[in-house]
Amino acid sequence: MLNLDWLSNHMHHSDTMALWLHQQFDYEFASQSLADWQLDFSQGQANGHWKCLIAMKDGELLGGAALASDDLAERPDLGPWLACVLVKPEVRGRGVAGQLIDGICSHARSVGITTLYLHTHDQHSFYAKRGWRVLERLEAWGKEHYLMVQDL
């Protein structure tokens, strides 16, 4: 059975989740070492900058998604953000990402957040099917990105 819980309750998975993110979104981390990102990500669980919800099955980490205070240097005026959505390749297509996204949105609503943002360079269709709207297209990290928004 799939279990969703906050990474802050399972910090032994923090470095692994940070590693997966560093590998998947390597263009975003070109100037930040893995060790520095792992430290930032771990600290973000305590200070709220990267509040990550993780999916596990029988204690095995399957993926995660975060509520981030700041995720796009080009748009410091926006936030908070749905960020760090990542599911292990072997469990993709089984609804895990959707459950993580729903969990982050539900938590955001429960703490009074009314709007979330995200950026993606290749998954805008996935998010559009989930009710996210394209706000603009922009260049970030040498790639075209879609800046998307959802009213909660």
Q: Where are the domains of the chain?
A: 2-151
CATH class belonging to 2-151: alpha beta
Instruction: Between 48 and 67, name the one with better pLDDT.
Output: 67
For residue 53, the model assigns a pLDDT of: 98
Banded pLDDT at 13 (limits 50, 70, 90): very high
Banded pLDDT at 1 (limits 50, 70, 90): confident
For residue 31, the model assigns a pLDDT of: 87
pLDDT in tens, 51-106: 999 999 999 999 999 999 988 888 899 999 999 999 999 999 999 999 999 999 99
β-sheet bridge partners, residue 57:
2, 60
The dihedral sign for the CA sequence 7, 8, 9, 12: positive
pLDDT in tens, 115-144: 999 999 889 999 999 999 999 998 878 889
Q: How many CA atoms lie within 13 A of 111 on its CB side?
A: 10
d(CA 89, CA 105): 23
Mean pLDDT of 2-25: 97
d(CA 152, CA 117): 11
